Amino acid sequence: MRQLPHPGPRPARLVRHGGGPAGRGPALDFSASINPLGPPAAVLRAVRLALPAVARYPDPASAALIARLAARHGVAAEQVVVGNGSSELIQALPRAVRARRAAVVEPTYTEYLRASLLAGAEVEHWLAEGDDFTPEPFDPAGADLVWLGNPNNPTGSMWDRARLIDWVRSFPRTVFAVDEAFLPFDPGEASLSLVSEVQHLPNLLVLRSLTKLYALPGLRLGYAVAQPELAELLREQLPPWSVNALAQAAGLAALDDDDFLRRTYRWAEEERTFVCGRLAELPYLRPLESRTVFVLLRLHGCTAAGLTAALAQRGLLVRDASNFVGLDGRHVRVSFRSPEDNRRLVAELAACAAEVCG
């Protein structure tokens, strides 16, 4: 790990994410990682049934949803905090722990940096090294908050679980926020997740999102799991009714759908193997080792701006990853979609790379 100089951006300038608003042109969107199998039919049914509830305020405690999440993870209800997407919880966490100095394991999701800056914290950036950005523990040296993604966006890398737990245990005065937004796509989720460790680690908070797995980014739903004291600090920062009635109903239905999960595991495994395998055979780019539902590509002979523009001309949207701290203008992230779309992605990428990078 190597500490980077502070890039000095203003928080607002960091807001650039994958995914575009619907209905603008024919773009096939490979820039945001949303499960193409979703939303599950049972979830849409539950949302339709819940529609009359929009005329009342929702349960401010989201009690039924929280009870269901707590049962799923084998923790007490007071250890679960739900939010309007995990983004809301990411924004609230630095305020909740009154972070004065935060450390971010880079390159990663830029909201950790933005949330820390907005809460008035100083931010240190620690860059994972090696060809695939393999993350390693480091001495957070006085940071009160450490952020990391597991699997990490945009690199797709995973931490060695035992090393990560040892690291969290070694710095009990630092809160570790472990973002598992993309872990539920992995069939090994139960044994890879750190949620079961919160019982032993009062300084650990695990963030989860339901919007990617169940394809509900327009509805917004996420949660965090921690020991009761830390969970309460986070809950105190949230506005009332932040999880609306439809999202509560959707979450309850989603968590019952085991068949959807099984189909998702199969899709993720097959499409990762296909896309990464085929892209590895192409000249001008190298797919980094990914454990999840997107892959970071390192380009040779052209820039991300050039390649994304060429793909856009052909109706394909991919994520120019050059604004992630620690990445340069040679990185592009692509998310996996349906088998048919992914075949088109591989063919168009091959053609565009030959045209732009060759």
Ligand X SMILES: Cc1ncc(COP(=O)(O)O)c(C=O)c1O
| Residues in touch with ligand X (CB under 6 A) | 17, 85-87, 109, 149, 153, 179, 181, 209, 211, 217, 222
Shortest distance, position 207 Cβ to ligand X, whole Å: 7
Residue 174 or 209 having the CB closest to ligand X: 209
Residue 17 or 286 having the CB closest to ligand X: 17
Shortest distance, position 217 Cβ to ligand X, whole Å: 5
Shortest distance, position 153 Cβ to ligand X, whole Å: 4
Shortest distance, position 356 Cβ to ligand X, whole Å: 27
Angle, alpha carbons 162-271-285 (nearest 5°): 85
Residue 182 or 284 having the CB closest to ligand X: 182
Residue 84 or 203 having the CB closest to ligand X: 84
Q: Report how far apart, in Å, the C-alpha atoms of 220 and of each of 82, 186, 248, 274, 301 are.
A: 10, 21, 10, 30, 39
Compute the distance between CA of residue 260 and CA of residue 240 in angstroms, rounded to an integer.
31
Residue 150 or 174 having the CB closest to ligand X: 150
Residue 91 or 227 having the CB closest to ligand X: 91
Shortest distance, position 148 Cβ to ligand X, whole Å: 10
Shortest distance, position 260 Cβ to ligand X, whole Å: 18
| Distant-in-sequence, close-in-space partners of 343: CB < 8 Å, separation ≥ 6 | none
Q: Report how far apart, in Å, the C-alpha atoms of 109 and of each of 82, 148, 258, 279 are.
A: 20, 9, 29, 24
- Per the CB < 8 A criterion, the answer to whether 94 and 145 are in contact is yes
Residue 147 or 284 having the CB closest to ligand X: 147
Q: Report how far apart, in Å, the C-alpha atoms of 98 and of each of 53, 112, 249, 303 are.
A: 36, 14, 33, 40
Residue nearest to ligand X (CB): 85
Shortest distance, position 219 Cβ to ligand X, whole Å: 9
β-pair type (316-317, 204-209) = unpaired
CA contacts within 13 A on the Cβ side of 297: 32
